[in-house]
Amino acid sequence: MKLSAGQKRILERVLNVFETGKPEGNYSAISIYNDGPNDIKQITYGRSQTTEYGNLRELVQKYVAANGIYSKKLKPFAEKVGSVPLTDDETFKDLLKKAGKDDVKMRTTQDAFFDERYYKPAIKWAKDNGFILPLSALVIYDSYIHSGGILWIIRQMFAENPPISGGNEIEWTTAYVNARHKWLSTHPRPVVQKTVYRTQCFKDEIKRGNWSLGVLPINANGTKIS
């Protein structure tokens, strides 16, 4: 799979809207959801919303190492993230917001971090499984951002094989989007159910036959992406 710079930018802008409501992304965005281990509260942060009990520690550590404006003040928190609950720590959350808003080093750190942690693994999975279409890349990348990967529980909901195993890419991607839409809409967590706008966007683009992502704008949860 080879995406042009423009196609990759479309992927990023669509997912930025999904995560923070803005095509350019909101590097200072913080949300608190009861979606951590055993449904405990956790912080989600940044352009593509990494989580407190996921990869937020790694992001904070990378920013501290970059010697940004707020690196010294965030350093004491770097080893606590994911080990000590920080959802009620106003100092930590305020520092994250300020770094994302004021410091270009936090923004460049986030761009590199989300590329390495989510985009490259998603594209590698796509390549390894024989996918070549940009819309498939968008669907797969969104799964890595939103769910950490292609969840087997969803994969078991349909019979189509990926291209590497002789399957048809369009049929697999369509079946996967439909299965994921159903899985999201029936999830026991209401906050997850509300994210069906992601798969609805993909269903709309499949209906338009927009496999090259060349038909613009794309409606990403009410925001036009071009």
Residues 6+ apart with CB under 8 A from 66: 105, 106, 108, 109
Which pLDDT score, from 0 to 100, does residue 1 have? 80
Which pLDDT score, from 0 to 100, does residue 86 have? 98
> DSSP assignment of 2-47, as one string?
---HHHHHHHHHHHHHHHHS-TT--TT-EEEES-SGGG--EEEETT
pTM over the 0.85 mark:
yes
Which pLDDT score, from 0 to 100, does residue 97 have? 98
Which pLDDT score, from 0 to 100, does residue 39 have? 87
- Residue 28 CA: distances (Å) to CA of 47, 96, 122, 133: 7, 7, 24, 32
Which pLDDT score, from 0 to 100, does residue 65 have? 98
Which pLDDT score, from 0 to 100, does residue 35 have? 86
Task: Tell me the pLDDT of the chain (226 aa) as tens digits.
Answer: 889 999 999 999 999 999 999 999 999 999 999 888 988 999 999 999 999 999 999 999 999 999 999 999 999 999 999 999 999 999 999 999 999 999 999 999 999 999 999 999 999 999 999 999 999 999 999 999 999 999 999 999 999 999 999 999 999 999 999 999 999 999 998 989 999 999 999 999 999 999 999 999 999 999 999 9
Task: Provide CATH code, domain 5-225.
Answer: 1.20.141.10
